[in-house]
Amino acid sequence: MAQPQAMYATDEYGRPFIILREQAKKTRSHGVQAIKTHILAARTVANIIRTSLGPRGLDKILISPDGEITVTNDGATILSQMEVEHPIAKLLVQLSKSQDDEIGDGTTGVVVLAGALLEQSEALLDRGIHPIRIADGFEKACAVAVKQLDKISDRIEYSRENTENLLKTSMTSLGSKIVSMEHRKFAQIAVDAVLQVADLERRDVPFDLIKVEGKVGGSLADTTLIKGVLVDKDMSHPGMPSVVRDAKIAILTCPFEPPRPKTKHKLDITSVEEYKKLREYEKEKFADMIKRVKDTGANLVICQWGFDDEANHLLMQNDLPAVRWVGGPEIELIAIATNGRIVPRFEDLAPEKLGKAGVVREVTFGTTRDKMLVIEECANTRAVTIFVRGSNKMIVDEAKRALHDAICCVRNLVVDNRVVYGGGAADISCSIAVAKAADQISTVEQYAMRSFASALDSVPLALAENSGLSPIETLASVKSRQVTEGNPCLGIDCLQKGENDMKKQFVYDPLISKRQQYLLATQLVRAVLKIDDVIVSGESDD
């Protein structure tokens, strides 16, 4: 019986020891096995949200530890609420968050692409190709794909008067969301909101001027765009006027109450005279505060803190409407919108620090008769609020997420008005270009480049599958037409309108969104391929 062959090796002190060949093989394959384990974890996560891609994608129900239900098909939301333990799966969650933070749309697509690239990597590892060579091949393929995206992109023209192209791109983003029944209205709201706050010359969209509020009641059709600020508060006293015209607003972050000792001392009142003195002192202080506000010419007070019934009564007697308990972010937005200054002490009040608005009014919404405060015709006309309505909390939350994606989509076009065509058209075109480029390379990276081209096909395959079409037949048909006709606009007809030309269907994707998907997915896969072990600090191997 043949003895297993042995090989010699030395330790760090130069002492020789023997490794049997089977052992050596096992040692070499340990790194590859670890990478395959990582790939399996990442693919599991990618496969979960693959079915949510596209206009016919399915939703997921997410149940939080305290029993709260979220129904969504937004990739970033699904991943952020999933309990993932594996460190590589957590990287995928961070990948979708990066896409969400940077671009705001395409969070499902980037994870599906990363999962497909990792699946292809596994086949290449089985063929004995080194992980670093695979990663290098993917980098080269990504560069070819990004160059192809630039080549096939079209510029879309728009202006404040002509918003039709922006509207169509926004509608593409909303096509897969729960609001698709009202998607033209929501797309119009997203476009109007972005153009209201955008500086088209500088190609800048300050997101902090767009606020999205939601309240249960009514239907999605009742969603409105308010050119101003909406605050979920009402006047502090029912006797105060519900409408203030030509408002001069004192924005306070100090409470309407007499100063109290800031230490743990307590005040003992032992006689009626002392009580009367204290009462007079408080009354004087209240009167002084109200006088300071009135002297600046203010006719409305918005206060971050509360005030008691006595202060409330005095404010009403002095014809000074007031709103209390307004949160910090709302206070900041009101200050930006009205060009006012936030005042931390009554002594600092001055006429030039007041915010100005054309009208401040209480409005009543829905069957619950909830009152909210609307500040319109502000000094800074760029601040807007989108007020979302829906029949239940789940629909309101999903509508807010959908609007965020649509607003980001329009914002991306203001920043860079180049688009590629959706329905997998851009992915198929890039796949063809990468496969051609692979044929020109003689090194082992050509295998990785061909695998990258196959991974790009996973997006149109998923779109076709989620739309109830035969995935492989549909992709093969569209791909052959792209090659023979040389038309990079041909994609998967997800809505089955009988037209594969995405340009005619007006299915647009902002170029920077698609480019970022390719770059982020490739970076993540490169990182995963370079990890051959996971070491948890504080744990030993025994």
Between CA 409 and CA 415, with CA 410 as vertex, the angle to 5 degrees is 100
DSSP annotation of 533 reads -
Instruction: Say how far apart CA 183 and CA 328 lie, in whole Å.
Output: 32
Instruction: Say how far apart CA 289 and CA 315 lie, in whole Å.
Output: 10
HSE on the CB side for 7, CA within 13 Å?
Answer: 6
Which residues neighbour 385 within 8 Å (Cβ) at sequence distance 6 or greater? 210, 211, 212, 213, 225, 226, 228, 229, 230
| Residue 384 contacts residue 213 (beta carbons within 8 Å) | no
| Residue 323 contacts residue 196 (beta carbons within 8 Å) | no
| Residue 440 contacts residue 479 (beta carbons within 8 Å) | no
Q: Give phi and psi for 443, each to the nearest 5.
A: -85, 175
Residue 48, Cα to own-chain centre: how many angstroms? 20
Instruction: Say how far apart CA 46 and CA 530 lie, in whole Å.
Output: 19
Residue 103, Cα to own-chain centre: how many angstroms? 8
Q: What share of the chain is helix, strand, coil (3-state, %, to 5)?
A: 50, 15, 30
Burial letters for 76-93: b for 16+ Cβ neighbours within 10 Å, e otherwise? bbbbeebebebebbbbbb
Instruction: Say how far apart CA 246 and CA 250 lie, in whole Å.
Output: 13
Residues annotated as catalytic are 74, 107-108, 405
Q: Give phi and psi for 471, each to the nearest 5.
A: -60, -50
